[in-house]
């Protein structure tokens, strides 16, 4: 939201300044309002104008006068809504996943905006895409679906991880820092600021300008790579390699003011060292088949209420299915819907701000839009509950192509199909 405000105000301020510069010399300047007064009036009017236009949503981030630069303060700063604490230095990490490839072939991808780790379990939300969609930020979600990718194809879980692990630790994103706070608006600010910062750090272009391009045969020195990445910013970065190939870049920043509205100042790495060899560093092209992605789209239905962790899903129980207003069968051990026979027993275990499900077949996950429980599942999906129903990304609706009958089992999907169903919980 801060960037919307900035983009709205910047041309207004520029126009005021240009207009004053063009006033003829014979005009008595003392009779005209100063640029300071005009700017103040515009600043006061902008929030109301943006709200009326639908650009602003929820409350306003902290307004910080004379903010200090994190990690550079000489006295204790008590207002942590305008000063990132307790650490202060933020890390913007980018990935180069070449096989399987993620993102465009000529662009690095976002990892996140890193700070401390797991600071508020009550805000480790599991419905990131729904939160962003409900805020009207479909443009942000569309960008993330292209440039903020998980190498295993589960973008949503990746975003949940980054918010829960790092976003909850940024002091200026505390709900108490907002005026007129709307639930979960700090989540949107975190992802928007991370994306905005990422857009200023075109690593592919930085490297290409120095003649460093992906190749299956050519190698580079760490010094060449570090120099190319330091040139646009004036400070060093850290680079990481896997099996001798460049795959991560770490950009460091101190922040003057809040993450939402403050200034990110490039900083030298704070104790983090590069892991690449001095010579023979590979920078491989993106090849192979991209992972099948559990897609999130900007047209998804936002949650009707805030998902709650666990809820009735705890311990052992069965998963009864309701379709057309009638309970009809249940989810069996493989994750499919079965309307006859005995219901399978599942174990619900708390995980982050939600829970995971396990059957006799193994852990359960949503993969390629389908619910599946299998011993091959290594990264179980963290579900939540809304109004007593199983929720995935904040939504309680699941789908099948038709209602199964007899011994037929129906595959359960999160992608819209002909038959809609919800999944409940009956404790054993």
Report the catalytic residues: 111, 162, 166
Query: Minimal CA–CA distance to 100: which of 48, 32, 149?
Result: 149
Q: Round to whole Å and give the CA distance between 303 and 127.
A: 8
Q: Round to whole Å and give the CA distance between 9 and 31.
A: 25
β-pair partners for 353: none
Angle (nearest 5°) at CA 142 between 139 and 144:
110
Q: Round to whole Å and give the CA distance between 310 and 384.
A: 6
Phi, psi of 16 (to 5 degrees): -60, -45
Give the pair of three-digit tokens for residue 266.
């490039």
* E strand intervals along 310-386: 315-318, 320-323, 326-331, 337-338, 346-351, 354-359, 362-367, 370-374, 384-386
35, 100, 134, 139 from 303: Cα distances, Å: 45, 32, 8, 19
Phi, psi of 224 (to 5 degrees): -65, -45
Q: Round to whole Å and give the CA distance between 112 and 157.
A: 13
Whether omega before 165 lies within 30 degrees of 0, making that bond cis, reads no
Give the rounded distance of the alpha carbon of 89 from its chain centre: 19
Residue count of the chain: 428
């Amino acid at each position: 939201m801060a960037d919307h405000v900035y983009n709205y105000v910047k041309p207004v301020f520029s126009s005021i300044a240009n207009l004053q510069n063009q006033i003829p010399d014979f005009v008595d300047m003392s009779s005209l309002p100063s640029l300071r007064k005009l700017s103040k009036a515009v600043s006061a009017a902008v929030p109301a104008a943006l709200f009326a236009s639908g650009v602003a949503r929820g409350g306003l981030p902290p307004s910080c006068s004379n903010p200090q630069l994190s990690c550079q303060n000489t006295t204790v700063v008590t207002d942590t809504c305008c000063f990132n604490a307790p650490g202060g230095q933020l890390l913007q990490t980018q990935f180069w996943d070449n096989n399987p490839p993620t993102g465009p072939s000529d662009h690095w991808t976002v990892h996140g905006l890193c700070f401390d780790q797991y600071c508020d379990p009550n805000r480790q939300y599991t419905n990131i895409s729904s939160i962003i969609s409900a805020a009207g930020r479909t443009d942000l979600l569309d960008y993330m679906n292209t440039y903020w990718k998980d190498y295993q194809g589960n973008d949503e879980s990746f975003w949940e991880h980054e918010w829960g692990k790092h976003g909850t630790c940024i002091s200026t994103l505390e709900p108490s820092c907002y005026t007129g706070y709307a639930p979960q608006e700090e989540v949107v600010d975190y992802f928007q600021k991370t994306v905005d910062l990422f857009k200023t750090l075109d690593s592919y272009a930085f490297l290409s300008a120095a003649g460093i391009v992906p190749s299956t045969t050519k190698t580079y020195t760490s010094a060449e790579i570090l120099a190319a990445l330091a040139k646009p910013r004036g400070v060093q970065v850290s680079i990481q390699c896997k099996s001798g190939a460049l795959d991560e870049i770490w950009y460091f920043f101190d922040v003057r003011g809040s993450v939402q509205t403050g200034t990110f100042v490039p900083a030298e790495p704070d104790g983090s060292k590069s892991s690449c060899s001095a010579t023979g560093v590979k920078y491989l092209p993106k090849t192979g088949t991209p992972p099948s992605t559990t897609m999130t789209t900007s047209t998804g239905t936002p949650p009707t209420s805030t998902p709650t962790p666990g809820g009735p899903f705890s311990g052992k129980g069965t998963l009864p299915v309701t379709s057309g207003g009638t309970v009809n069968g249940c989810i069996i051990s493989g994750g499919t819907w079965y309307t006859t026979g005995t219901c399978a027993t599942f174990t619900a275990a708390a995980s982050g701000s939600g829970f995971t499900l396990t059957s006799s077949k193994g852990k359960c996950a949503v993969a390629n839009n389908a619910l599946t429980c299998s011993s091959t599942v290594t990264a179980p999906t963290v579900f939540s509950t809304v109004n007593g129903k199983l929720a995935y990304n904040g939504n309680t609706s699941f789908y099948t192509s038709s209602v199964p009958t007899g011994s037929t089992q129906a595959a359960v999907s999160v992608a819209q199909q002909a038959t809609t169903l919800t999944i409940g919980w009956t404790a054993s």
